Structure 1
Amino acid sequence: MSGFHPRCPPPTRLVRPVRVDPDGESGPRRGTAAGPSWRTTSHGFVVPADVPQTVEQRILEAAVHLPEGGMVTGWGALRLAGAAYVDGFAGRKPRPVPVLLPHTSRIRGPGVLVERTRGRLPDPVVRHGVPCAPSEIALLHELRRASSARAAGVMVDMALAAGVIDLERARHVATTRRQSPAAAYALERACAGCRSPKESEMLQVWESDVGFPRPLMNREVLDLSGRLLAVVDLLEVESGTYGEYNGASHRNRERQRRDEARADALRGVGLEGFVLVAGDSERVWRERMASARERALWLPEERRRWRLGAFVPAPPLPDTEEAALDAIMLEHYRSLE
């Protein structure tokens, strides 16, 4: 389990850019706008200089230039719907905001990636004052740009974890459009039980690379008296094998102490585990998975000393503005680790 949360906090300080106004009525005069109290967002548009430059603010600043009928799509629409995984960065470089336009429309302003269609545009969903493509369509647009089938699989799993798409609706929409092999793979094998990108990668290696049957994700493990022993990232009930991905939040001494206590409790009831950490190669992932499964006891249900509990979703988000902003920044910096 990692410190990642699949949903991002709702933006709380979005400010729509205004035009520079020679008369100073609907916006600041040119000389004032050039001063330290204002920040230029694009040609002729400004916001107050103290407006935080969050991902959502950048989407809003790009959306100011949308023509009639245009809408934000791709990662931008998913982000405004609440999906944390699509953070608008490629490494440290901001990605352009994808927009969907009628075929004959044009858009002015920097930082946008244009998609056009000759067909009927979907009815937009207005989020935080921005017209957005429905999330299922936005996801399909984003999947076209996935760097690999694995990356596409993570994207779909994280959209599901964030609760921003309906999987069956996305699959139906996909049948009406030409899709890449990566998108088809991602939608076919999608899992709603993953809570972090690394859990999705671990599941895909388990299933697609090693060829093991689909396990359960983020399930409680109880002893026979009903006492909670752990919530494990991956669990194959039949073999009694579990897996964990330990990210940066597991590196402090207290967390390591708790992790060892959990592992000991799980061994005590006959479960065999593997642990993956940052920096491991995928060869190591595959070897650890196969080795743990070979060591597993494969006990029939009547001989097991543990039982299965409930699925555990991601915890609620912080509800304060300060915590929300901290979470946005922390999420980005973790993505660079």
Structure 2
Amino acid sequence: MDDSSSRCPPVGARHRVTIPVPIDPSGSRGPTKRQAASDDWRRTSRGFYVPSHVEPSPLQRIAEVAVLLRSDRIAVTGWASLAWRGDPWASGRRADGSLTPVDLTSTHALLKPQPAFRLSQERADPREFEVVDGLRVTTAPAAVCFAVRHATSLDAAVEVLDMAYLADLVTPEEVGEWAQAHPWQRRRPRVAAALELADENAWSPQEVHLRLAWLRATGRRPLTNRPVFDSSGRRVATPDLLDPMTGVAGEYDGDVHLTRAGRRRDLGREQALRAVGLEPFTVVAGDLRDGRFEERLRVAEGRAARVASADRHWTVEPPDWWVPTTTVAERRALAPHGRRIWLRRG
């Protein structure tokens, strides 16, 4: 193997992770054998340890695998590459909360299996390897397509793609171009299907699954986080989802909405939306599984149908002064001060 570690910058300097160390008989650069066996240290892989107080966060788990990658023929890919690049939703957890290994890809290098990582058998292209904060990772399009192709379901694949869009890591064009350039990849049709269903402006995984359920229930695809304006051009609110055909707005309420301040904001937004002729309804955790979502959607559609045309004073067409941010390209084009102004979500 080609040991290129000396040519790479230190791993994780910007990410503030703790790099595992091997046993050191002197105890100066690592734990002694006795110390490593105590509760003060946690073994991360064969021969490597970190202090036991170090939490195995997604970035920390990636760093713990990084010390094993001494060949420039191996790179981190999938969810771990996305997380390392700044996708906060790439957690490395399955829907049931269990951990998934760090995905690795290689040109033809071998690495002895360990529980912390999973080495793909697919041949990688070294031209798609990049070093980010000292760690060799695949490009963002390659990592997204890997994660999408290996997702447990199409809905999970759409969530991966939507959250990569949210982090502005890839555009639909970049993902499509990568898939077209790699027609031999396994499960490539999954990428095409996810691209068809994905949205560049979803703000949370829960919104993704609410949107997909809405599409299945009605055959109509609601708009995501589209600002609503009144007849004078004033922004009324930005609902999670909006069906412009029926005038129904859907909101997913997570735990952050349970506080007194959060509930006060929600009630004010519902009142503002109804004042311009929209009919909002709320979904909470569990509603998508037990069928309550569809019932609430039908009730909201029934109420919206009874709103007179003269009482509808809303539009999704922005005034001239509004700066759109519904696509990755639009968000990337913003200057830093513009991002602070226009990407305040809520």
TM-score by length of 2: 0.76
- Give the length in aligned residue pairs: 305
Which residue is 2:213 aligned to? 205
Q: Is the 8 A contact 1:143 1:152 kept in 2?
A: yes
1:38 deviates by 4.2
Runs of 5+ consecutive residues of structure 2 not aligned to the other structure? 1-12, 327-346
1:289 is paired with a residue of what secondary structure?
helix
Q: Is the 8 A contact 2:105 2:124 kept in 1?
A: no
Q: Is the 8 A contact 1:238 1:300 kept in 2?
A: no
Q: How does 1:16-95 map to 2 (within 5 A)?
A: 16-22=19-25, 27-34=30-37, 38-68=41-71, 69-90=73-94, 91-95=96-100
Which residue is 1:6 aligned to? none
Tell me which amino acid in the other structure corresponds to 2:192.
Answer: A
CA 1:120–1:278: 2 relative to 1, 3 Å: closer
2:151 maps to which of 146, 149, 167 = 146
CA 1:198–1:32: 2 relative to 1, 3 Å: closer
1:260 deviates by 2.4
2:168 maps to which of 153, 163, 178 = 163
Which residue is 1:15 aligned to? 18
Which residue is 2:244 aligned to? 237
Q: How does 1:303-314 map to 2 (within 5 A)?
A: 304-308=312-316, 309=318
- Aligned-partner Cα distance in 1 for 2:111–2:39: 32
1:193 maps to which of 180, 190, 201 = 201
1:132 is paired with a residue of what secondary structure?
strand
Q: Is the 8 A contact 2:276 2:311 kept in 1?
A: no
1:161 deviates by 0.8
- Aligned-partner Cα distance in 2 for 1:67–1:15: 18
Which residue is 1:221 aligned to? 228
1:296 is paired with a residue of what secondary structure?
helix
Which residue is 1:124 aligned to? 129
1:60 deviates by 1.0
- Aligned-partner Cα distance in 2 for 1:150–1:209: 15
Q: Is the 8 A contact 2:83 2:91 kept in 1?
A: yes
Which residue is 1:173 aligned to? 178
Q: Is the 8 A contact 2:106 2:124 kept in 1?
A: no
- Aligned-partner Cα distance in 1 for 2:262–2:31: 52
> 1:190-239: CA deviations, max 9, x gaps?
10111011111121122244201x33211222323343322211123343
Task: Identify the range of structure 1 (67-76 vs 20-29) with the bigger mean alpha-carbon deviation.
Answer: 20-29
CA 1:169–1:200: 2 relative to 1, 3 Å: same
1:23 deviates by 6.2
Matched, 1:278 2:285: yes
For CA contacts below 8 A with separation 6 or more, give which structure has more relative contact order.
1
Runs of 5+ consecutive residues of structure 1 not aligned to the other structure? 1-9, 314-337
Matched, 1:267 2:267: no
Which residue is 2:265 aligned to? 258
CA 1:59–1:270: 2 relative to 1, 3 Å: same
Q: Is the 8 A contact 1:149 1:183 kept in 2?
A: no
CA 1:198–1:145: 2 relative to 1, 3 Å: same
- Aligned-partner Cα distance in 1 for 2:269–2:164: 29
Q: Is the 8 A contact 1:239 1:298 kept in 2?
A: no
- Aligned-partner Cα distance in 2 for 1:50–1:255: 33
- Aligned-partner Cα distance in 1 for 2:15–2:110: 31
> 1:11-61: CA deviations, max 9, x gaps?
643122233244667645434544565443222223344444322111111
Task: Identify the range of structure 1 (181-190 vs 60-69) with the bigger mean alpha-carbon deviation.
Answer: 181-190
> 1:126-145: CA deviations, max 9, x gaps?
22321111121112222233
- Aligned-partner Cα distance in 2 for 1:306–1:197: 27
1:193 is paired with a residue of what secondary structure?
coil
Task: Identify the range of structure 1 (297-306 vs 195-204) with the bigger mean alpha-carbon deviation.
Answer: 297-306
Identity in percent: 36
CA 1:134–1:235: 2 relative to 1, 3 Å: same
Which residue is 1:97 aligned to? 102
